[in-house]
Amino acid sequence: MILPERADPRLVTVRRGGTLTDADHHLLALWAASCAEHVLDAFESVCPDDLRPREAVEAGRAWVRGELPMMRARAAGGHAMGAARELRGAPRWAAYAAGQAACVAHVAAHDLGAAAYAIKAARAAAPADEGDAAGRLECRWQRAQLPDEVRDLVLDDQRLRNELCWSVFDV
């Protein structure tokens, strides 16, 4: 569970009664896609013929460019998460990250899902005694990718939802 019981109006688009602009929604989607793509090799090295997670990352970006309707991006996210179900460890978390990234088109708050699952993938891919350090390194990398326009929003949201996201944002 990565979504709070009550939606944060800062992560709800203006047309749905929140304060999130379309431009910032797009930035969150692109950031989430970058987070997921950063660990996608963990999935692709185990399932090289399963394109669903890669297609989900691309669907999120295509939605931002106006080339794909939200419902199709969200569906691609669901397919990527379906690819994760039979797996364990880093490949599973990487596929979930990709699925969450595509779902940002539908609900902006899925951006932290993409980031959190990517951190879980980085932790799981590392040797057991290096997992925590790998997770912190991944979190720092993600934060370095944050666009200035949404940086404060994402960092505050990480603080607020850290516990829901397995405390992966403790750096």
Interaxial angle between packed helices 22-39 and 89-103, expressed in degrees from 0 to 180 and rounded to the nearest 10: 160
pLDDT digits (tens, 9 = 90+) for 6-25: 999 999 999 999 999 999 99
Is residue 13, in this structure, part of any structural domain at all?
Answer: no
Percent of the chain with pLDDT over 70: 99
Q: Is residue 37 part of a domain?
A: yes
42 domain-assigned: yes
Q: Is residue 119 part of a domain?
A: yes
In a domain, 71, yes or no: yes
DSSP for 18-85, please give it: SSB-HHHHHHHHHHHHHHHHHHTHHHHTT-TT--HHHHHHHHHHHHHTTSS-HHHHHHHHHHHHHHHT
Beta bridge partners of 20: 13
pLDDT confidence of residue 60: 98
Q: Please tell me the total count of domains within the chain.
A: 1
By C-alpha distance, which of 81, 83, 73, 78 is closest to 48? Answer: 83
Using pLDDT thresholds of 50, 70 and 90, give the confidence band for residue 2.
Answer: confident
Quick check: is 25 in a domain? yes
| Mean pLDDT in residue range 92-115 | 98
Asked if the structure places residue 169 within a domain, the reply is: no
Residue-range definition of the domain harbouring residue 25:
18-161
The reported pLDDT for the residue numbered 1 is 63
Q: For residue 72, is it within any domain? A: yes
